[in-house]
Each structure stands twice: as C-alpha cells, then as structure tokens.
C-alpha cells in the first residue's frame, strides 16, 4: 500500500520499517528513514552535473541505490514505498569535501595548537550534508582510521571517510601536534607505513624541500595514492612540475609571487606581502593558472578559513551554538579586535577568490573543503554548508557551486561512478533541503534529511546533539 508521509511524521514509522541495517542504538536514535523503498515526490533537484535545475521531480531509491528519477508523471512508484512529499523542497547530492580535519583550533597563550574532535566532528560533518570526505592531514591518524571503520560498521555517526597521513613536515612552525622529519628517507617510511595502515592520501606541509616531495610522490604514486600540499618552501609551480596531485587553499598560501625567492625556504610573511602586492590580472598569475591546468594539478578552495571579519558572521554558517562557552569567548575577542580593521585581509580574500574562479572558468580541476582550524571560526558541518554559500557569493553560479562541492570532489577521489551526483544507478547520497536555493542560497542551512547509502539521518537532531561540545571532544 502506498503511503504519503510528510517529513514531520516520518519519525512515526513502525519499528519494523526502521533500522533494517546494522546500527547501534546510539546511531539509530538519529535515523528517520531506513526502509527498503523510498520515493520523494514533487521535489526540485540540482543533480551536481552542472545541468539545469529540474522541477516537479520524483526520485526513487531502493536500499542504497537510486532506481528511478524523472517528472512526477513519468515515474512509477513501487508498491510499499515510503512516500515523502518534496513540495517546496530541494534535493542536492551529498557533499564530497576534500579539506576536512578531525581536529579544531585550541590556542594557549602564544601557542597555536589543535585538539582532536573524535566524536563531535564526524557528527557535524554528516549533519552538514557531507556524505563523503577526505581529511587533509591528521594529528591522530590511527584515531581517524578507527573512526572511519566504526562509522562504516554502524557504530558511530559520520560520513564515508578517506583518511590522509600525518603531516609530512620539517621543523619550522611551533605546532606541537606535528611530527617533524629529519631527512628525506623518513618520507619513504612514513608513506609506506601509513599506506599499509589504510590511509589513501598524503599531505606535505610548509617547510619540506624538493627532495622530500619527490620521495613522497614516488612512493605514493607507486601505490596508486595521491599527494596534496599546503606549501610555502616550494612554489606551486615547482610542486606542480614535480607532479603533485593537489594544492590546498586556492592561491592563498602560494609563494610563487616572492621576487628572488630562496630555494626550499619558507618565509610566510614575505609570501603574504608578495601575494597582496601582485596585480590581480598579472601575467604571473595567469601563467601559473595555465601551468596548473596543463599539468592537471587540482586546487582545493577553502574560503571559510580565510573569510573576512567585517560584515561577516562570528562563526560563519551559524555555528556559535556548537562551541563551548570558553571557545566562543576567545573567538569573539579576536573577532571584535579585527572587525573594521581587516581591509587588507578582505582585499587578499577577494583577490584569491577571483583567481580561484579564473582557474575554474579556464578548465582547472577545482574541489572544495573547509579546514576547521585558523582562528576557530571554521566549524565542521556549519562550514561545509557555508562553503556553497561563499562560492555563490564569490560569483560562481549555483549549479557550479554545487558541482564543485559534489561531483568534482568525487572525481578527484575516483568515486564519481558511485557518488557525487543525483543519477540512476548512483548511491542514494542525497540532501533534502526545505526551501529554494535559487531564491536564497542560505536556504542550504535548512537541511532536513541527509541520506547516506539510502539511510536518512535527521540533520537538525544531529546538530542539536553536539551543541556546546566543540572544543571538548
């Protein structure tokens, strides 16, 4: 018998329909839909392919796969389907985000430090629509690997995770959680040790040298794994020509504009001065963009972590409730000191976003992430939704913004055949949003159900469960 059940009554489904999969009671608490056949009717769909928005659609998925998709009148709803009325709602693919962390900023006096958020961050990522993610550097890689496995086994809430190695770095920054290598031979040992443990990518950092990167690329590529970098001692041009797969943070950390730059040396202050002074339409940036595209080097844009203060939210994306009172006080003090005084920061932020869009418009491989570090204003989940808002705010079309945060990430992870778009045959990784994203992109914050492998999780309930916990666990 067909039944039409609105979202607010889904929780009344009989126990025989729910929890068909093997989830612990702690996970079951947040599941609203776990039945064999689901039909969402009369819904607007943005499919992640960059194609036109489709209206008055019905989507059917059975178990974890999308089986039908089309105009309401052309789709046959199978008997015994759970029917959700999608009127006034929008479906987009589950987000596939590539610069995520399982840690968060924890400052002490003049020290910059980070703390593992083992329990709160996986929940927040899922609540914020992330169904697939890649960490971009770990401080507790074994913890991250365990969490990934426990999520896959139904013991914890969270997205499907791709784990990156510990940061491969030489001493230069006083961040106590980092492991510092002494010589290039250590790089080979790190890559092979953590590849055997199950990581699927590697992260090189600010103070490595060319030989370190070469070794990392040789060993990782030998095993079919990828390397990304947040660089300073090496320029983007040098790393791209050596064959790095991915560069993080748009052009915001590029040292390519330093005149007479010393080889293998990182001066972050000089790099930022040079970036600020570079003409937005200089031949140097245009040549660099062309080189990256020619070499197939992907760029991850992470606008959240660099977002200006003036006329922007305290914790972008509305995440003030997520953090502990002490963290909120610290973030607010920094915010109050910066508001109205960050005009230089705003100029560099805008320049970087112009270059990122230019890279994309010319055919560059652009993916997205959040990087929940910095000044503590970037919080998992809230920041992921907000990334889409920031891309639209920076001049990307809605369709392109969704594609960058879904299909492009899936393609980089080589998972585009199963996730990243709303298509028949793909996994039912979907986000049901209350509202129209065309009229107001901030409606993306109205996520109701996040479907991962066909199982629907209550976004608002998950967000509520970790209020005040970020900064603790």
pLDDT digits (tens, 9 = 90+) for 188-222: 999 999 999 999 999 999 999 999 999 999 999 99
Percent of the chain surpassing pLDDT 70:
96
Residue 391, SS3? helix
Other Cβ atoms less than 10 A from the Cβ of 9: the count is: 11
* pLDDT computed for residue 14 by the predictor: 35
DSSP 230-252: --SSS-HHHHHHHT-SEEESTTT
How much is the pLDDT for 21? 65
pLDDT for residue 86 is more than 60: yes
DSSP lists the bridge partners of residue 169 as: 180
CA distance 233 to 250: 16
Tens-digit pLDDT profile for residues 311-320: 999 999 999 9
Task: Answer yes or no: are the C-beta atoms of 3 and 19 closer than 8 Å.
Answer: no
Angstrom distance (rounded) from CA 239 to CA 243:
6
DSSP three-state, residue 99: strand
Distances (CA, A) of 401 to 171, 369, 384, 389, 433: 37, 12, 12, 8, 16
Say if residues 293 and 320 touch (Cβ distance below 8 Å): no
Please tell me the predicted confidence (pLDDT) of residue 3. Answer: 41
pLDDT digits (tens, 9 = 90+) for 252-294: 999 999 999 999 999 999 999 999 999 999 999 999 999 999 9
- CA dihedral 95→96→99→105, nearest 10 degrees, is 40
Strand 37-45 relative to strand 54-62, pairing: antiparallel
Q: Residue 242 above 80 pLDDT?
A: yes
Q: Which domains does the chain have, with CATH numbers?
A: 3-93+421-465 (2.30.40.10), 95-412 (3.20.20.140)
- Buried-state track 112-128, b at ≥16 Cβ within 10 A, e below 16: eebbbbbbbbbbbbbbb
Check pLDDT > 70 for residue 1.
no
| Tens digits of residue pLDDT in 134-185 | 999 999 999 999 999 999 999 999 999 999 999 999 998 778 999 999 999 9
pLDDT tens, position by position, 302-355: 999 999 999 999 999 999 999 999 999 999 999 999 999 999 999 999 999 999
Distance of CA 440 to the CA centre of its chain: 21
The DSSP H or E segment spanning 336 is helix 325-338
Q: What gap in Å lies between CA 461 and CA 473, rounded to an integer?
A: 18
DSSP secondary-structure letter at 261? P
pLDDT value at 8 more than 80: no
Residue 434's H or E segment, with its range, is strand 430-434
**Contact, 229 vs 244, CB < 8 A?**
yes
Report residue 456 as tokens: 């629907």
Torsion angle, alpha carbons of 289, 291, 293, 294, to 10? 160
Residue appearing with tokens 């890689």: 141
Q: Read off the pLDDT of each residue in 96-115 and give the average, rounded to a whole number.
A: 90
Q: Which of 194, 295, 189 is nearest to 242 (CA)?
A: 295
pTM value? 0.94
Direct distance between the N- and C-terminal alpha carbons of the chain, in angstroms, rounded to an integer? 45
Name the token pair of 340.
Answer: 């109205």
Mean pLDDT confidence for 14-33: 75
Of 406, 410, 463, 305, nearest to 51 by C-alpha is 406
How far apart (Å, rounded) are the C-alpha atoms in residues 391 and 374?
Answer: 19
How many helices (DSSP H) and strands (DSSP E) are in the chain? 14, 21
Mean pLDDT of the chain, nearest integer: 94
C-beta of residue 31 within 8 angstroms of C-beta of residue 473: no
């Amino acid at each position: 018998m067909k039944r039409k059940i609105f979202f607010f009554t889904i929780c009344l489904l009989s126990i025989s329909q729910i929890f068909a999969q093997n989830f612990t009671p702690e996970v079951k608490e947040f599941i609203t839909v776990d039945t064999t056949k689901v039909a969402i009717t009369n819904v607007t769909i943005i499919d992640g392919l960059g194609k036109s928005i489709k209206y008055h659609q019905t989507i059917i998925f059975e178990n974890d796969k999308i089986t039908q998709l089309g105009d309401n009148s052309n789709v046959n709803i199978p008997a015994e389907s759970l029917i959700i009325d999608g009127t006034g709602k929008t479906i987009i693919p589950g987000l596939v985000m590539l610069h995520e962390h399982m840690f968060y900023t924890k400052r002490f006096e003049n020290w910059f430090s980070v703390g593992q958020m083992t329990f709160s961050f996986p929940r927040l990522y899922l609540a914020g629509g992330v169904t697939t993610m890649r960490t971009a550097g770990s401080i507790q890689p074994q913890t991250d690997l365990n969490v990934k496995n426990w999520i896959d086994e139904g013991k914890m809430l969270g997205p499907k995770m791709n784990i990156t190695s510990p940061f491969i770095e030489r001493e230069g920054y006083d961040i106590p959680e980092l492991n510092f290598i002494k010589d290039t031979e250590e790089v080979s040992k790190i890559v092979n040790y953590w590849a055997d443990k199950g990581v699927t990518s590697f992260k090189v950092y600010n103070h490595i040298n060319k030989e370190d990167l070469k070794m990392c690329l040789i060993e990782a590529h030998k095993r079919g794994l990828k390397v990304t970098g947040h660089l300073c001692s090496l320029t983007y041009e040098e790393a791209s020509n050596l064959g790095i797969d991915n560069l993080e943070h748009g052009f915001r950390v590029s040292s390519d504009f330093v005149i007479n730059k010393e080889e293998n040396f990182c001066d972050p202050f000089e790099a930022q001065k040079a970036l600020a002074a570079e003409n937005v339409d200089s031949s140097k940036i245009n040549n660099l963009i062309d080189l990256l595209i020619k070499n197939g080097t992907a760029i991850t844009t992470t606008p959240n972590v660099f977002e200006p203060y003036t006329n922007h939210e305290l914790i972008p994306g509305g995440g003030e409730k997520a953090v502990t009172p002490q963290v909120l006080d610290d973030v607010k003090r920094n915010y109050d000191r910066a508001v109205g005084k960050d005009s230089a920061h705003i100029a560099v932020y805008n320049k970087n976003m112009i270059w990122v869009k230019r890279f994309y418009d010319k055919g560059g491989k652009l993916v997205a992430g959040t990087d929940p570090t910095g000044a503590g204003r970037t919080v998992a989940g809230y920041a992921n939704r907000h990334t889409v808002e920031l891309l639209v705010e920076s001049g990307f079309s809605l369709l392109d913004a969704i594609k960058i945060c879904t299909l492009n990430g899936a393609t980089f992870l080589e998972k585009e055949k199963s996730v990243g778009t709303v298509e028949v045959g793909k996994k039912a990784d979907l986000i049901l949003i209350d509202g129209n994203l065309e009229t107001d992109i901030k409606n993306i914050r109205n996520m109701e159900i996040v479907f991962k492998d066909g199982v629907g999780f209550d976004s608002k309930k998950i967000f509520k469960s970790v209020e005040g916990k970020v900064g603790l666990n």
